[in-house]
């Protein structure tokens, strides 16, 4: 295999699905009798945050143990043998969406290193926006990188820090880092969970008897029977040792939090609680708000399954139009099939979604989807409804137009491929061939998730994908852009 | 591996899920430019009918080609290389639920044999209820079996028939066979599709340009862009040759059809049309009928996902109680995980289903499920609702009590494990700990699927799992029972 | 994969090595505490008789167990787990050289079938020369074949025989069979070992305490610590039951034996005893005879390793010329490597054999090899010696010219590719570029293995590869030849 | 898997064979059209130096490519696909004997790192005897190690060196290193081959047209058709760039060379030339010297195959006693088999070596082996000869008693398991149950390889395994010994 080039910051992966994708989920447990079994279950509940690889590291009081694999958690961590390889009362794990090419397992987290202070393992959700610059500095001084992951920068910064304690070395490292991170760190002294100063990526803390747990979403606690304590706060480090003592440190002052609002729109599971609010209720409220902002005459409210379902229920309840399954989703998807050459049109969408023809025929329908990214899937779904005989197809979107790339750990198409970056509302409607098209307003979205609207001075969330208002500087991108002025759509800040 | 014992008839497999399971789906295409690619897509759309193994056989005018694999269709047949191994304009395939132990691939269909007349491939959905008796006869005369599949009996009967044409030999073989079968047969002369005289298992016929297709369900035609022609009728053989000529033969007279009513309840996909009726509409009608027969006061109608959703929508629309997702289903299930020993109760159900606690807390809920088999899952779901704070939990079931095993190709627990075979309604309610429990009546079910009620003299469907009224004799079972009088619940006929 | 065509008789496989290859070794043990462990070890000692696949079947008094694998015995049968899958006091196994294409494991022996009389397993060394004709008959009557192996014909003949006992049915079957076979058969009543009436392929009988063993060569008894009893005689069936009773049956009269003389030349291991004589001593005697028949002036006797070594020692001792390792053989061969395009000549031979340049330079050498098949390897070895600086290269061959194909279970190139079928002695010498070339005479060979010469009326061995004198009729070949008169070299009979 | 502990220096692996084992072979090619194909072939010819893992790194002018695998070269590098993954005109590879536990592929060489100066790959044969100390220093300053290999120390020393050019940085690193090394290094500027100041491990330089090659033994050049230029000299760095320029640097002054004398005894292939002398001739000379030093009356000279063969030929020619194959070696060994419990004695040796009973019976034999390590195999072979009926068994060893461990890259049992470290000559004879036993003298060995005897002041070879005279300090071992005074046999220096 080729030595893969560095791919630490640039988010322009070619997504073959037509969704933004959360790139990671993390989970940790300390002082737990079966730390790695709990971690495996917790990761399984976070599987929607990353399906391509999973890893767990455990510590048994003397040694660290590691196991990583491509594929789902269940394929790698469901057997007694796998769990037996991960003994001890402390463990942390990671699921990730993408592994770049063949370099495969090297980039699967948690990353691990032998430092002078002992073993050091880290699981990271997010993206460091000055990783390329930091890496070049470290390599220049003699550091040798094992992976192409931005996360490894943090480890080398810790390894070369001159502070005496591991906690101080971690803070020293994080002061140099810019971007989004929720981290779970393990050392021979215990577990450290922390979130970047703006809290862009989520991290919650739970308890099960004596054990302390950390996870990207509360649903991971449900599956292991634990209770939620609270969120790890933006800019906070929570340190838990093996005596059970818990300390909280806030070395970065008190910036205003900016958690990612797309967790409410799409990333989190509906049965999670995020930023103090039930995600299911938030999505229903978005659907209801959408029905108020953009009502329409129709016979059926049809969700694009599965992510559009809660918003569709909210829309149906607000509007009084019946909620019906006009599109049936197959649970057996995944790979691209060879297409027969004759006559089979659009079957790649059909494999996943099939029109419920008997229901749809002759009806006016309102389709509800969570977002429009490239628009290609939306077009195919509208066409599928029309082929099934729908009289009218109205499209309502449970988020504002997605017009900007994310640089904080979400897999986004490059900006030139985002439909909303390329055209205004009416051309979008024509592109997807709907009879009408409406998005929720940005203020409507903030209202649906519990605020009075967006605070333009101090926005309560990171909503850069809608507004282009990036809450941190983007050092690596700036350098890349200087080199590649030919990119048709310069993305942030200056715009 | 041990030479596996014969397992042709007895349906008492230990199902680790708590559902009846359709054991097979079949698909065939003739005079199609890309017969095997179409077959792969068609099988993929039938994946819900069998997830453990898949196989395709093709014919290129000179040779037969075969490829079989354990696992899903997508894992075995999505690549260009796999399809390239299956050239030709005729192909047929099979997905199956269970493979008995290690003998694995030998039992994966379509089965194939070199007969004196040339190659012969067969894909079979159903179960032959006198296979053990026929097999003993054949072995006594010198036939050597390759698999433990009941389907192989049909091949040996064809091989040893003394009729001159392959069609006559097949009819000769089927006259000796008792039970349920939908078959797709391939020979160097063309394709033969047929259904047992009662039409217990489904089979439909479609067209895409010049190509003629057969499939277990209409949804398989949607995915390849084909149109439905009609059902293959009970007792009918449809013969298609390479000139495109289609002949229909009905060698078994005109018995009254008895298709399996459980296709409407659970087996078929909601976007299929079965026995002339949309399955989605049938399920909604069942839910509405259930709301009429067994109404209750409640705040929310909650489906047990995903199979309970259409009936729940019907129940909600009929009753006026809001439809809500009180249970969130994970799409990442599959294997059994090691359980942490401390504190994690019921997590095997929780991995699959999680209570939407914020929604359910303090509410009176009506749970809608398609059926109750052993009752163990129903109990866990009721308990999960109560732990999430539900004030009352009412359970409504979209089918009559399942009190008898199926011997026609459906994987059923042995009768002594069926909750409805063990107890009356009130003990069942106590067992699952619901505040109330109701099943749809058998006549209600028939009305929901479009009849005026069950015709007691000539029932319109096979409903043996509810009524114990088996439409064929069960030769092998009778012999087995003579040998094993100790079985606590003697199943059919005599009862 | 394609349904592989029948390949029961035709020996014209394309051998990538330049040797005749024995196609099988067989081993069986009955009344042995660890029958399958002993069989694994015994097969391992017979590994030189077939490296591509191995299988063992055992019987534990109630059931048969089977395990087969591609590759070496050690890869498939060395672990406790593998042996634990094969319980019981009776086992038999098989190693084979070739598996035809993808149909792979189906053809790996022992073959097994459930007959009306119970299980029936058979391991076969040899080749049935009327298998195609018998198979066509059987299929015409309704038999369905599982493999493309000629051995399966025997099983179907047994299955359809109308005699009452299994021994009678086996004799009934063998009466119809023509060609070469050493068989080890297992039934629930015990083990049957037998050899064709001419005893073309070898089979010996041994004892270890209570256990009776059968093997292709005596070396297999050495490795398990057993002692040799005697050969199974040509045309003899030896029946051993679980009480330890041994019966001998000779249903085919008393034809003169014709064991394969190539076992002495090349197939058997030098530490085996074949036809009453040490193979090592026989080979040394061949070398000595060759030194008498074709002496030459030289500085060194150099064996082509490893098979030429004993004859070279014999030649050196007889001639007084020193024995030296002028060619070093690598033990790590196997696959074909990509060749660098520049400058690397003949490296495929060099990977296996390398000239010992310091020794050879400036010397006159006598090369000793066991046989010449196509001549291509001989040419490369002569060239290698010259490149290493040899002053003269004389080639002496420890067998007569190989001018005819074998149809009795030995993998031979088709006749048109045999060097000795294409040209006389002097052109052969020119082809391989040797300074002189000589083969042992046919009478010299017979003398070296203990006779006074070849008995032209009743030859003591099968030597058809040298003489074209085939001791049985070759039914299938005759039919094939009628169909393919275009084959440039018609092989036997007419000659 | 556990994080494997550092295992850089201690050689006390438990060898299941009873031989010293060379741990590595290396090969490199620059300015070669098919560099990686040539490297694959070259490594294949060096396979005897390491069978457990192999790796190749190539450079195509822009990028480095790497492929590593467990097992033989042929299993990993024989296919066109494998070679196609390794494009370019420069490549280097490595075969190794042992991979420590599960960490497997991480330790397979060539190791690779991205340095500030660009990619850096290194293949190393030998062992660094202060690696643990150097590693602790590096980790303390922030270096993060990826493997447990001592070789990685060299890379980090290069990465953190402050010299400007890569050649200077490498010299700077090697000045800190103590022990044995032959290295092939690749950088974007070209290839560097070097040998430690004493030249303990071998390295030769060759040419094939424009290409320059390096290899552990000359036999690797034979297989690719290249010619030998000369040895890389002890303490020399040879630098080859892409213009074809070759520079030689000698930064370590001129210490007396001490190449490993065991290369002549056992490690090198007999067709290699080492230290200016044919290995085959050296071994024959050792056998002849042994016949002079320790003659005996006998009927046969029997080599323990295969390594004893050249010395046995030398012994036979000197003594006039016939050379015969009294032991037949199987080419199919490898794994340990389950042993049948009844009656099978010593079969693990018998699987590999079998007595040629017909030859040995009643004879007085001289057994010739290259060395005695633990003595357990020697005992079994003597017993095997006696069981086969030998009248007398005399044992002659082609090296002096092996009484000390090697710390320079050879896998040796710990000293307490070396037979010659535990007892004098007569007890050794009794232990192996021979009628007589003799080893060649140390001076006799030096004479056989071309010297007048061992120069006690400035020994011409490293012979520490015989004499305990280690030519370098052993820093890590000294530290380990301070910690573990309980080891029964303290090894070097102080003794």
Catalytic residue numbers of A read 24
Using a CB–CB cutoff of 8 Å, tell me whether B71 touches chain A.
Answer: no
Residue D478 has pLDDT above 60, yes or no: yes
- Span D322-368, pLDDT tens digits: 999 999 988 776 556 776 765 444 456 667 889 999 999 999 999 99
Mutate to test the interface with D, among C320, C343, C363 (most CBs of D within 10 A): C343
- Span B288-346, pLDDT tens digits: 999 999 999 999 999 998 889 999 999 999 999 999 999 998 877 655 677 676 544 44
Percent of residues, chain B, with pLDDT higher than 70: 88
pLDDT of residue D345: 45
pLDDT of residue A390: 98
Q: Using pLDDT thresholds of 50, 70 and 90, give the confidence band for residue D495.
A: very low
Q: How far is CA D385 from the centre of its chain?
A: 30
**What average pLDDT does range D25-30 have in this prediction?**
98
Residue D90 has pLDDT above 80, yes or no: yes
- Span A158-201, pLDDT tens digits: 999 999 999 999 999 999 999 999 999 999 999 999 999 999 99
SS3 for chain D, per residue?
A: CECCCCCCCCCCCCCCCCCCEECEEEEEEECCCCHHHHHHHHHHHCHHHCCCEEEEEEECCCCEEEEEEECCHHHHHCCHHHHHCCCCCEEEEEEECCCCHHHHHHHCCCEEEEECCEEEEEEEEEEECCHHHHHHHHHHCCCCCCCCCCHHHHHHHHHHCCCCCHHHHHHHHHHHCCEEEEEEEEECCEEEEEECCCCCCCCEEEEECCEEEEECCCHHHHHHCCEEEEECCCCCEEEEECCCCEEEECCCCCCCCCCECHHHHHHCCCCCEECCEEHHHHHHHHHHHHHHHCCCCCCEEEECCCCCHHHHHHHHHHHCCCECCCEEECCCCCCCCCCCCCCCCCHHHHHHEEECHHHHCCCEEEEEECCCCCCHHHHHHHHHHHHCCCCEEEEEECCCCCCCCCCCCEECCCHHHCHHHHCCHHHHHHHHCCCEEEECCHHHHHHHCCCCCCCCCCCCCECHHHHCCCCCCCHHHHHHHHHCCCCCCCCCCCC
Residues 6+ apart with CB under 8 A from B341: A33, A34
Instruction: Name which of A74, A269, A351 is nearest B223 (Cβ-Cβ).
Output: A351
pLDDT of residue B5: 35
Q: Using pLDDT thresholds of 50, 70 and 90, give the confidence band for residue A483.
A: low
Using a CB–CB cutoff of 8 Å, tell me whether A336 touches chain B.
Answer: yes
Q: Please tell me the distance from the alpha carbon of residue D387 to that of residue D107, in angstroms, as a whole number.
A: 44
Complex ipTM, two decimals?
0.89
**What average pLDDT does range D429-455 have in this prediction?**
97
Give chains near B: 3+ CB pairs under 8 A.
A, C
pLDDT of residue C460: 96
Q: CB-based burial of residue B458 (10 Å sphere; 0-12 exposed, 13-18 middle, 19+ buried)?
A: exposed
**What average pLDDT does range C138-150 have in this prediction?**
92
Q: Is D143 annotated as a binding residue?
A: no
**What average pLDDT does range C321-349 have in this prediction?**
72
Q: Is B128 helix (H, G, I), strand (E, B) or coil?
A: strand
User: How far is D339 from chain A, CA to nearest CA, in Å?
Assistant: 28
Using a CB–CB cutoff of 8 Å, tell me whether D162 touches chain A.
Answer: no
Look up residue C329 and give its two tokens. Answer: 């053989």
Residue C11 has pLDDT above 50, yes or no: no
User: How far is A296 from chain B, CA to nearest CA, in Å?
Assistant: 21
Percent of residues, chain A, with pLDDT higher than 90: 77
Using a CB–CB cutoff of 8 Å, tell me whether C38 touches chain D.
Answer: yes
Q: Is D260 annotated as a binding residue?
A: yes
Mutate to test the interface with B, among A53, A206, A283, A338 (most CBs of B within 10 A): A338
Mutate to test the interface with B, among C122, C142, C153 (most CBs of B within 10 A): C142
Q: Using pLDDT thresholds of 50, 70 and 90, give the confidence band for residue A482.
A: low
When the pLDDT of each residue in chain B is averaged and rounded to a whole number, the result is 89
- CA dihedral of B147, B153, B156, B157, whole degrees rounded to 10: 180
**What average pLDDT does range D373-392 have in this prediction?**
95
| Lowest mean per-residue pLDDT among A140-149, B480-489, C319-328, D374-383 | B480-489
User: How far is C261 from chain D, CA to nearest CA, in Å?
Assistant: 20
User: How far is D222 from chain C, CA to nearest CA, in Å?
Assistant: 7
C-beta neighbour count of C463 within 10 angstroms: 23
Active site residue D194: no
pLDDT of residue D130: 94
pLDDT of residue D23: 78
Sign of CA dihedral A257, A261, A266, A270: positive
- Span D40-68, pLDDT tens digits: 999 999 999 998 899 999 999 999 999 99
pLDDT of residue C482: 65
pLDDT of residue C485: 45
Percent of residues, chain A, with pLDDT higher than 70: 88
Q: Give the residue from chain B lying closest to C146, CA to CA.
A: B146
pLDDT of residue C220: 96
Q: Please tell me the distance from the alpha carbon of residue D53 to that of residue C468, in angstroms, as a whole number.
A: 48
Residue C300 has pLDDT above 90, yes or no: yes
Q: Which residues in chain A are closer than 8 Å to B74, comparing Cβ atoms?
A: 332-335, 337
pLDDT of residue C15: 33
CB contact under 8 A, B47 and A309: no
Do B and D have ≥3 inter-chain CB pairs under 8 A?
no
pLDDT of residue B489: 42
Q: Give the residue from chain C lying closest to B146, CA to CA.
A: C146
Look up residue C87 and give its two tokens. Answer: 């319980």
Q: Give the residue from chain C lying closest to D351, CA to CA.
A: C223
When the pLDDT of each residue in chain A is averaged and rounded to a whole number, the result is 89
Residue B143 has pLDDT above 70, yes or no: yes
Q: Using pLDDT thresholds of 50, 70 and 90, give the confidence band for residue C100.
A: very low
pLDDT of residue C351: 74
**What average pLDDT does range C300-321 have in this prediction?**
95
Specify the higher pLDDT residue, B464 or B480.
B464
Q: Which residues in chain C are closer than 8 Å to D79, comparing Cβ atoms?
A: 335, 338
Q: Using pLDDT thresholds of 50, 70 and 90, give the confidence band for residue D102.
A: very low
**What average pLDDT does range D239-257 have in this prediction?**
93
In the numeric block, the tokens 């039938």 are attached to B46
CB contact under 8 A, B306 and A331: yes
pLDDT of residue A339: 67
pLDDT of residue D352: 82
Residue list for the binding site of C: 260, 307, 369-370, 406, 462, 465
**What average pLDDT does range A117-121 have in this prediction?**
95
Give chains near D: 3+ CB pairs under 8 A.
A, C
pLDDT of residue C341: 64
Prediction pTM value: 0.84
């Amino acid at each position: 295999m080729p030595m893969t080039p560095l791919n630490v910051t640039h988010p322009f992966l070619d997504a073959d699905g037509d969704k933004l994708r959360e790139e990671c989920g993390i989970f940790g447990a300390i002082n737990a009798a079966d730390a790695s079994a709990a971690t495996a279950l917790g990761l399984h509940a976070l599987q929607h945050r990353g399906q391509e690889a999973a890893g767990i590291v455990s510590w048994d009081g003397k040694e660290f143990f590691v196991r990583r694999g491509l594929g789902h958690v269940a394929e790698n961590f469901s057997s007694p043998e796998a769990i037996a390889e991960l003994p001890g009362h402390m463990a942390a794990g990671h699921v990730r969406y993408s592994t770049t090419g063949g370099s495969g397992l090297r980039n699967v987290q948690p990353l691990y290193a032998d430092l002078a202070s002992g073993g050091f393992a880290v699981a990271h959700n997010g993206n460091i926006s000055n990783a390329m610059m930091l890496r070049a500095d470290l390599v220049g001084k003699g550091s040798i990188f094992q992976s192409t992951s931005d996360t490894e920068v943090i480890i080398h910064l810790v390894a070369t820090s001159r502070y005496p304690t591991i906690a101080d070395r971690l803070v020293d490292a994080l002061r140099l880092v810019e971007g989004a991170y929720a981290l779970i760190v393990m050392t021979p002294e215990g577990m450290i969970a922390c979130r970047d100063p703006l809290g862009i990526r989520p991290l919650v803390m739970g308890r099960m008897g004596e054990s302390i747990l950390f996870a990207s979403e509360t649903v991971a606690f449900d599956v292991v029977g634990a209770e939620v304590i609270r969120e790890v706060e933006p800019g906070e480090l929570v340190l838990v040792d093996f005596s059970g003592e818990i300390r909280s440190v806030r070395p970065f002052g008190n910036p205003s939090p900016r958690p990612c609002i797309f967790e409410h729109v799409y990333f989190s599971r509906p049965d999670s609680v995020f930023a103090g609010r039930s995600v299911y209720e938030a999505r229903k409220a978005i659907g209801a708000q959408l029905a108020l902002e953009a009502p329409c005459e129709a016979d059926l409210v049809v969700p694009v399954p599965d992510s559009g379902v809660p918003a569709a229920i909210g829309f149906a309840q607000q509007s009084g139009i019946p909620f019906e399954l006009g599109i049936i989703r197959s649970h057996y998807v995944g790979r691209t099939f060879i297409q027969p050459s004759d006559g089979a049109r659009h079957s790649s969408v059909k494999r996943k979604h099939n029109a419920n023809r008997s229901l749809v025929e002759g009806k006016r329908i309102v389709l509800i989807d969570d977002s429009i990214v490239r628009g290609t899937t939306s077009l195919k779904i509208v066409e599928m409804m029309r082929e099934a005989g729908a009289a009218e197809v109205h499209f309502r979107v449970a988020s504002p137009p997605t017009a900007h790339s994310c640089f904080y750990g979400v897999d986004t198409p490059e900006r030139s491929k985002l439909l909303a970056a390329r055209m205004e509302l009416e051309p979008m409607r024509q592109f997807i061939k709907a009879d009408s098209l409406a998005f929720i307003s940005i203020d409507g979205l903030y209202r649906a998730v519990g605020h009075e609207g967006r605070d333009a001075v101090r926005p309560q969330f990171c909503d850069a994908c809608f507004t282009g208002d990036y809450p941190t500087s983007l050092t690596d991108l700036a350098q890349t852009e200087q080199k590649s002025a030919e990119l048709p759509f310069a993305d942030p800040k200056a715009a």
